[in-house]
Structure 1
Amino acid sequence: MIGTIDAGERCQRHPRSSHSIPEGHEVTGKIYNDITEVVGRTPLVKLGRINETGANIFAKLEFFGPGSSVKDRLGLGIIRAAEQSGELQPGGTIVEGTSGNTGIALAMLGASRGYRVILAMPETMSIERRQLLKAFGAELVLTPGPEGMRGAVARAKQIVDETPGAILARQFENEANVQIHRETTAEEIWADTDGEIDIFVAGVGTGGTISGVGQVLKERKPEVKIVAVEPKDSPLLTEGKAGPHKIQGLGANFVPDVLDRDVIDEVLDATLEDSIRVSRALTSTEGIFSGISSGANLWAALEIAKRPENAGKNIVVIICDTGERYLSTVLFDDLRD
């Protein structure tokens, strides 16, 4: 049964140790060749304290990846596809417009594989994201905040035109984005739930996660409900209106080319206030330190879980990244001295 914990007394002994090793902490002896091999295989955790509904909510903790966000998968998928096609040559340059996490993933993976990485990012993104990008060796170009992601994407295209041998990652239109979630995220969720998933909740940033996972789940279990989350201040999917907002990682202010709207059954619009409240509650009640977009996703999952018809159903929600990316933002405004 999903979420049942019955491993309290079960353990194994490591052949070279007298210590008992609880199930789930087995020593595999695996040594990875580089950081790219660590991407994926993130844990699915049942939420028992913040969830007071009759449904079961399971959090897919994407901050367990090496770059601490769901965008690790996107970055790896895009780089691998570009390498395989021959578009990206050894020592080449990767350029992208990013709100932060995709850039961090590309910078991390680029450092591991020896690529130069140049990133355009709205100046409104958190200082932590800027520092991480520079720490990984990426070159950062800030774009005007009011222009949002459109401005960052436009600047990235200009940089590619000005840089010989550079490629554009194109996260919003690159099918490799969707494919990596079909091959990894969807398969992990299906395996971890034994296929007993009823509802999947994810925010729409590039659209890759919800499209890739949604496609696989719908193919195997058509009755699965796919719920998208977007900022209430930029209700592009529900009302066709784009606007400025402070939920970093969601709502690019345009509909991404890779977004498969056919798999989406419902869209919920999250307010900044609800996103912050739920993110902080997740930290204080479950010990899971997450960012603002994760709060938006979980708010939506809790709203869905409250509905009487969803009692007893299994809901999986994406927790996109760690709260450490947001220490200088509104998420922690009243916690700073």
Structure 2
Amino acid sequence: MLRRERPETRIVLAEPANAQLIGSGTAQERGAGGAPAASHPAFEPHPIQGWTPDFIPDVLQEAIDKSLYDEVMPIPGPEGMKWAKALAQKEGIFTGISGGATFAVALQVAEKAAPGSVILCMLPDTGERYMTTPLFDGIEAEMDADEIALSQSTPGCQFPA
């Protein structure tokens, strides 16, 4: 859709640096009906939750087969955490590790872009489901009583007691 409206659009995919399923160039083993038959050999555990299960989903395989992207860029998990925290602290954008990683890749794209370029960075989710993950380690230590009470008033957003 984007390319139909703006043919100059470049689509950049991001994936965990230590689990480059697409970047590896290795095909996903598939069984009957196109379902993944096994874990992808390039998969390794990584902290970017929500990204890259241990296989290439069929919908992504279709995009790969049709060359619907221009580039794939690896991003380390810690970089995603760094930018997720920075987005929350500096911009009030509450996203997860995948959102931070996506933003980190968008920054890399922006560094190389021509002046006046338009860059769309789609953040995949919010940060609420990551409250008990390493993304927010130590946050509760910095919270005052009112902030802790507010955190505990929202289902699914509580920091561990």
Q: TM-score, normalised by structure 2?
A: 0.71
User: How far off its partner does 1:250 sit?
Assistant: 0.6
What is the CA deviation profile of residues 304-333 of structure 1, one whole-angstrom value per residue up to 9, with x for unaligned ones? 0011x4322111111122111111001011
Q: State the AA in 1 paired with 2:100.
A: G
Q: State the AA in 1 paired with 2:18.
A: D
Residue aligning to 1:273: 78
Partner Cα distance (1:255, 1:322) in 2? 23
2:55 counterpart of 1:254: yes
What is the CA deviation profile of residues 36-80 of structure 1, one whole-angstrom value per residue up to 9, with x for unaligned ones? xxxxxxxxxxxxxxxxxxxxxxxxxxxxxxxxxxxxxxxxxxxxx
2:32 counterpart of 1:231: no
CA, structure 1 residues 310+334, in 2 after alignment: closer, same or farther (shift >3 Å)? Answer: farther
User: How far off its partner does 1:242 sit?
Assistant: 1.4
Equivalent position to 2:43, from 230, 242, 246? 242
User: How far off its partner does 1:221 sit?
Assistant: 2.5
Query: Map of 1:97-176 to 2, 5 A cutoff?
Result: none
Partner Cα distance (1:233, 1:334) in 2? 25
User: How far off its partner does 1:283 sit?
Assistant: 0.8
Residue aligning to 2:124: 320
Query: Residue 268 of structure 1: SS of its match in structure 2?
Result: strand
Q: TM-score, normalised by structure 1?
A: 0.35
Partner Cα distance (1:257, 1:243) in 2? 19
Aligned residues: 121
Partner Cα distance (1:280, 1:311) in 2? 27
Residue aligning to 2:135: 331
Q: Kindly indicate whether the alpha-carbon contact (under 8 Å) linking 1:304 and 1:310 is maintained by their aligned counterparts in 2.
A: no
Query: Residue 225 of structure 1: SS of its match in structure 2?
Result: coil
Higher strand share: 1
RMSD: 1.3
Q: State the AA in 2 paired with 1:313.
A: S
Equivalent position to 1:290, from 63, 87, 95? 95
Q: Percent identity?
A: 39
Query: Residue 121 of structure 2: SS of its match in structure 1?
Result: strand
Partner Cα distance (1:254, 1:218) in 2? 27
Larger Rg: 1
Query: Residue 22 of structure 2: SS of its match in structure 1?
Result: helix
What is the CA deviation profile of residues 125-149 of structure 1, one whole-angstrom value per residue up to 9, with x for unaligned ones? xxxxxxxxxxxxxxxxxxxxxxxxx
